[in-house]
Amino acid sequence: MILDGNFNPNIEEIIILNKPLTEWFLRNQEWMAYFELTTAGCLHFENSSYASYDVRILGRMAHAAFTWLEGDLPLTNETRALKAAEAIANVYFKNRELLSENAKIQYAIDVENLNITINNNSPKRILQKHNGIKNRRPGKGHRNH
C-alpha cells in the first residue's frame, strides 16, 4: 500500500497491519487527501453549511482513525491499527443513515474480519443489516418463500 504524500508517512506501517483498515484507506485516501482530511483534528467541515453529510462523516471517520494512528499512547502498532479500524466502524454505524448510497459502500469497513463488537451488536448482524438482508421498510422486507 502506498499512501498519498499528504499523509504522515509513519502511519502506513501501522495501517498495513490490519487488512480491513488497509482496504478502507485504499478506497478512501484519494477523497481524504482532496478534502484535506489527512491528520487528526480534520473536522473543518463539521459546521460547514456547504459540505455534504458524506464529507462531514468522512472527516469524522478520518479524525477518529488518525487519533489512534498518530496518538502518543503506549500501544503496540497492531493495537493502534485495530483501534483505528474500530473507531472508523463506530463512526460509520452511528452515522450511516445520513450517508448517500454510494458513501455507504465507499465508507464501509469489514467489521466481520475485525472480530469486534460495534454498538453492542455482533459484527455479523451489523454486516447483514448493511448488506440489505435486514430491511425494515414496510412492504420491502425479505421474503422467505
Contact 41, 135 (CB under 8 A): no
Look at the chain and count its residues: 145
Amino acid code (one letter) for 27: R
pLDDT at 116 over 80: no
- Helices 77-95 and 53-70, packing angle to 10 deg: 160
- Helices 77-95 and 19-34, packing angle to 10 deg: 60
pLDDT at 26 over 80: yes
pLDDT at 142 over 90: no
Give per-residue pLDDT as tens, 42-63: 888 888 888 889 999 999 999 9
Contacts of 6 (CB under 8 A, 6+ apart): 33, 36, 38
Selected residue with higher pLDDT from 1 and 114: 114
